[in-house]
Structure 1
């Protein structure tokens, strides 16, 4: 048996109730779903979680799996896709040998018969995906001990890429066209690449770093296996005076000294459109004006923060110099802490 079983994967005890298992499963799906998770291996993680849940949520499958855990060499062939080595050392139940069981018997890298095959050579030739995870059958492996290899269908590998979108598209939702070289498996087993233009829907409110999943647009499958999926990580393009933190948007806004001192109402071009904004009296550079709910319209809308930046007029002209001199005289009795 592999060290990590289905109960470990879900983070529940072996005697956990159906309700507790379901509750834990839902929590893990919310945490690791590739569409919302930043986990670097979210797609494989969620597949592992789903595989575990599909077995122990079913009363009969769970009973068989528990029996296999109690006696891993009893030849149990679980309906949920798990199976162990038979007690007689022959063919491992309905599912055949697991790679880990065979490897444990003969050692990693030990010669396999006079032909000199090593397990690492076999894994390299037929893809490491057949080197089963916990409790998995040896797909594409031995039909029987000493026999050849059976041809199996395998889903293609998932692919990951990055797409850059405008901030305005995130506020409204938008369509983007991207060009891809999509791998296509030919009848003879070779892989060709087909140039394809895909129309991508950018969901309204998606935040920086989240992923868009395109089903079937990954690497070609083996045999009749489905293609893998393509995961596009979203990168938001924005102006230099803007920064983004989650769903919150920070925008630097330049104001004149008299607007800061006296207060004023100004119009500001923002990602959500042109807004009328009131500058409070005695505002200081670096202070933020919060516009609630005007950030990225995610499930929980962010806020838009206008960071005030006081800009002094250019003092190169004679008129500006005179104005500064008058201002200096008018405030000659003001002491400034330095």
Structure 2
């Protein structure tokens, strides 16, 4: 049977819009990400998905691919698939043996059946071997079936990983070191993998979910082409009493009943440093104090919201019990809706 074409791999129609293709691609990447998928063939599937998307996302490559699907016998030198090229022994890029090409393309049906021009066969190896995206800059996944699409683009595949950074680093900017298994080009032209420590500068003010681009740290190129890039998605970690909404920071702060009732100035340790804050009198639990510009120092700085939480001291002594009794008497006529 002929292998699925790129549209089949992504599960879209041939006339699908760029937006639909991108949406379906992202869905499939989340489904088959090697870190979350239980599918034993997740690495190969994600590589196949990436390969299809690399072609269909590019207007020129997609047009060329569509033309090949519409006329798979164009330029055929002999009937029956690759029959007209039986005497060839090496390829135009990287010295592939004819047997290697035949193994990759089977009976000439890798693009939906039929034969190809000899140039088309070798242009399909445009990017060579690479790891699959989202693999924590992962390990080898084998030679991609179509190597990255059509034409002579020899740039290596971009790769994606995640990095966790603490909130304090986001406020100040910081240096991190991470260890990755990165692709490297061997002297014989093949792709190998080695452990590598990369030093990363965490940009001051970066927000949760944003990416850091490391040029040239992705998969190795082929034929002298540039390496792909490595994109690190930033996940910000913070204390349990802190949550983030974009550049805004929400921090829960415990206060005493008298601080809430009387209004007092307190010192609070925040991601922006130790700050003196005045509690308005008659404050209630759950109310927010907004400190403008004290959130994540992004290009447009966020705000810091202190969410007040009134904590009643425990009664552990007779004096404490007496104090509560006096408080009860002082507010005997207070009416509370329940």
Query: CA deviation digits over 1:216-261, x for unaligned, max 9?
Result: 1011112212111000001111111100000000000000000000
Other-structure match for 1:334: 334
- Against the structure 1 CA distance between its residues 199 and 130, is the aligned structure 2 distance closer, same or farther, given a 3 Å change threshold? closer
CA RMSD of aligned residues (A): 3.5
Alpha-carbon distance, 1:111 to partner? 5.8
Aligned to 2:316: 316
Report Cα offsets for 1:53-73 as digits up to 9, x if no partner: xxxxxxxxxxxxxxxxxxxxx
Task: Show the counterpart of 1:101.
Answer: 67
Report the counterpart of residue 110 of structure 2 in structure 1. 119
User: Structure 2 CA distance, aligned partners of 1:334 and 1:312?
Assistant: 18
Mapped contact 1:296–1:302 kept (Cα < 8 A) = yes
Q: How many residues align?
A: 242
Q: Report the equivalent of 2:182.
A: 182
CA contact (8 A) 2:55 2:148 kept: no
Q: How does 1:38-187 map to 2 (within 5 A)?
A: 98-106=64-72, 112=81, 116-120=107-111, 127-129=145-147, 131-132=149-150, 138-139=151-152, 154-187=154-187
Shift of 1:156: 1.2
Q: 1:246 to 1:131 in 2, by over 3 A?
A: same
Normalising by structure 2, we get a TM-score of 0.63
Secondary structure in 2 aligned to 1:193?
Answer: strand
Q: Distance in 2 between matches of 1:279 and 1:111?
A: 83
Distance 1:192 1:82 in 2: 28
Match of residue 197 from structure 2: 197
Asked if structure 2 preserves the Cα contact closer than 8 Å seen for 1:103 and 1:119, the reply is: no
Q: Gapped runs of 5+ residues in structure 1?
A: 11-40, 53-80, 85-97, 133-137, 140-152
Q: Which residue number corresponds to residue 246 of structure 1? A: 246
Q: Decide whether aligned partners of structure 1 residues 319 and 335 sit closer, same or farther in structure 2, where only a CA change above 3 A counts.
A: same
8 Å CA contact 1:99–1:130 kept in 2: the answer is no
- Is structure 2 residue 210 aligned with structure 1 residue 210? yes
Q: Where does 1:257-268 land on structure 2 (aligned, <5 Å)?
A: 257-268=257-268
Contact 1:100 1:131 in 2 (8 A): no
